[in-house]
Amino acid sequence: MKYVIALDVGGTGMKAALLAQDGSVLFEARRPTGREHGTDAVVAAILDFAADLADEGRSRFGCAPLAAGVAVPGTIDEGNGIAVFSANLGWRDLPMRKLLGERLGGLPVALGHDVRSGGLAEGRIGAGRGVDRFLFIALGTGIAGAIGIGGRIEAGAHGYGGEIGHVVVRPGGPACGCGARGCLETLASASAVSRAWAAASGDPEADAAACALAVDAGDERALTVWRNAVDALADGIVLAQSLLDPSTVIVGGGLAEAGDTLFTPLRAAVTERLTFQMPPKVVPAMLKDTAASLGAGLLAWDLLSKEVTA
């Protein structure tokens, strides 16, 4: 049995799989990241998890994994295998590929950005399968994206391709952590909707999921909050449509769990804003929270393919 290790490192938890070449999952596991114990503990947890996955594979299939792929948040240098910076996990210039390769006995290791890895998986084995050009948008604590072209993800000249969350859609709007104002993620992310609904409802514990339920119940305050977020997201999608002309926009992340409550008004809002542009299909992501780990595994298989053809 040929397989690779696929690992997605999140702010609070890690998701992993042993992945066959056709993208099928042979084994799945999850563990906490342990960031409350500090950066060194997080790195140790990642390395230990990967080693345990390799042991699991040997036990199940009687052979070692061929490679490993790891997807991480923050800024990365894919070419050199360095996790440059993560505010949530606390590292700077972490030689992730080298550390993981050494722990796994010299296995080849691919390093990827979590959202771009998720986009890769959605494009190849998820909602974008068979689509030549797509835009993947993840609506979570922030908003990030991935540009899919011909079965690969376009990272851009400096590794920041797809950062639709930092497109300014409301000039002079809310301050963003990036230093700008009115960025899409300050208005349409799950955390932005949570903040707006908490303020509108007077309940400091209210979140985006509660807002979606209130929208379904016809609450006018929730409808206003939701409409503002949908309008901002539609503006961002139309801007991307003008620049990239994808045939499909795949929307994932926590906010997409609202289903038709999000997608019905979003599709209408996008259509209303288009002039000469061809309308994209706006569809929900299929792979949910496993997308990034599956994408990491696909990166590992890609790495092996490159080594064969080199």
Residues 145-198: pLDDT tens digits?
A: 999 999 899 999 888 899 999 999 999 999 998 899 999 999 999 999 999 999
Residues (pLDDT < 50) of the chain are: none
Element (H, E) at 94: strand 92-94
Q: What is the pLDDT of residue 45?
A: 96
Q: What is the pLDDT of residue 309?
A: 62
113 to 77, 116, 226, 296: CA distances (angstroms): 9, 5, 29, 9
Specify the pairing of strand 82-85 against strand 75-77. antiparallel
Q: Which residue ranges make up each domain of the chain?
A: 3-117+289-308, 131-284
CB 236 within 8 A of CB 189: no
Q: What is the pLDDT of residue 213?
A: 98
pLDDT digits 0-9 by tens, 89-98: 889 999 999 9
Sheet harboring 133-139: ordered strands across? Answer: 152-154, 143-149, 133-139, 248-252, 281-284
The architecture (CATH level 2) of 3-117+289-308 comes to 2-Layer Sandwich (3.30)
- DSSP-derived 3-state class of residue 197: helix
Q: Is 145 left (phi over 0), alpha (psi -120 to 50) or beta?
A: beta
Q: What is the pLDDT of residue 310?
A: 52
Fold of 131-284: Nucleotidyltransferase; domain 5 (3.30.420)
Neighbouring CB atoms inside 10 A of 103's CB total 18
21 to 63, 67, 298: CA distances (angstroms): 15, 11, 8
- Please check whether the two domains, 3-117+289-308 and 131-284, share a CATH topology: yes
